[in-house]
Structure 1
Amino acid sequence: MKRILSLIVLTSLFFISCSSDGERGPQGPPGEDGVNIVGQAFEVTDVNFNAPEYSIFAEFPASIEVLPSDSVLVYWLEDVDDNGNDIWSLIPQTIYFDDGQFQYTYNHTDFDVNIFLQGNIDLATLGDRYAQDQVFKVVILPVDYTANATIDVSSYQSLKNTVNIKESNIKATARQ
């Protein structure tokens, strides 16, 4: 009796699972071509590199979630051209002098970025041009961007346009 009951239940389940839900509907519109990347950025202003560390830590704003797989890029405001346009350089960025060199560089965690100077010259001799009132942009990109080799991260302007970063959304964080 148990075998007959089991057979009836299995047969019923088979017929229920084979039911048709009707005709298939029309295909939806095609998606847009390209890569869907959401880039986030913030600015670190009033950076002063002082002895003995020549280093600053900037915490990521609470509104920006950084995952271990994300890429963190830092750009230094190197100059402003004659038309008032900012000139951003991806760091690490090495500055050469007759008697040696130094470099803006960085490392980061999922919570902050450490921007620092290192070189083979006395960093105390750099003066205000390179050590005081510096400005940096920190850009966080999902790891998906690495799959697209056409993204030029060496140019902040190109990257900003590609990943649709709006300057009006970038918050400035002052560091001393």
Structure 2
Amino acid sequence: MKKLIKFLFTSVALFLLLNGCGEPGPVGPEGPQGPPGPEVLPTSFEFEADLTQSNGFEFFRDIPTQIEVFESDVMLAYVLEDYIPEDDLEVWRQLPITDFNSRGTVQINFDYTFVDIRIFMDANYNLGSIDEYEDLLIRAVHVPAAFLNTNKAMKLSDINTLSELEQMLGVEVQNFKM
């Protein structure tokens, strides 16, 4: 049995080795330019979220109908952390955000489906009214898979700010006003 397996393995290896030998054939004529593909760009939308005891520390927002989300797409979420008026500069921070306080650890995070995005709080202690966050300005960024596939070096896990995302993608993210 061992000899049979060794014979088959050797035969396959020899076949692959000899099959790759030989001179390459001539290069054929170049075909016509194909039609341009659809322009697929990341888009974003903003909304305010309240994370309070009355809503179970979660907030849902429908994704605008102009944005079609597919299973292979990526959604990122940012919260407006600060505004620097002298430079007219917004400071955005990517979710999740973890806060360590005297009661323990609390995290603001998100998840999404094809139709909505959910912003929520989670903690390793019982959340109370002291932990409420109101009027959080959230920017959700939809990155289509078709756009991802055209960017070989894309590593979304290395992106920490919206401006880094725009710089890496080489585009300015379009805004949908709600």
TM-score, length basis structure 1: 0.67
C-alpha distance in 2, partners of 1:140/1:154? 15
Q: 1:79 aligns with which of 69, 79, 82?
A: 82
1:26/1:55 Cα in 2 relative to 1: closer, same or farther (>3 Å)? closer
Q: CA deviation at 1:62?
A: 0.7
Q: 1:145 aligns with which of 145, 148, 163?
A: 148
Q: 1:43 aligns with which of 37, 43, 46?
A: 46
Is residue 41–residue 165 contact of structure 1 (8 Å, CA) maintained in 2? no
Identical counterparts, % of pairs: 21
1:108/1:102 Cα in 2 relative to 1: closer, same or farther (>3 Å)? same
Q: CA deviation at 1:50?
A: 1.7
Q: CA deviation at 1:95?
A: 1.3
Q: 1:156 aligns with which of 154, 158, 162?
A: 162
Unmatched runs of 5 consecutive residues or more in structure 1? 1-23, 29-35
SS in 2 for 1:69: coil
Number of aligned residue pairs: give it: 138
C-alpha distance in 2, partners of 1:150/1:109? 22
- Show CA shifts across 1:58-102 (max 9, x none): 111111111110011111111223533111111111012122221
C-alpha distance in 1, partners of 2:46/2:95? 14
Q: CA deviation at 1:150?
A: 5.5
In angstroms, what is the RMSD of aligned CA positions? 2.7
Q: 1:170 aligns with which of 164, 170, 175?
A: 175
Aligned residue identity for 2:154: A
1:94/1:172 Cα in 2 relative to 1: closer, same or farther (>3 Å)? farther
With 144-153 and 101-110 compared, the bigger mean Cα shift is at: 144-153
Equivalent residue for 2:66?
63
Q: CA deviation at 1:27?
A: 8.6
Q: CA deviation at 1:153?
A: 2.3
Unmatched runs of 5 consecutive residues or more in structure 2? 1-28, 34-38
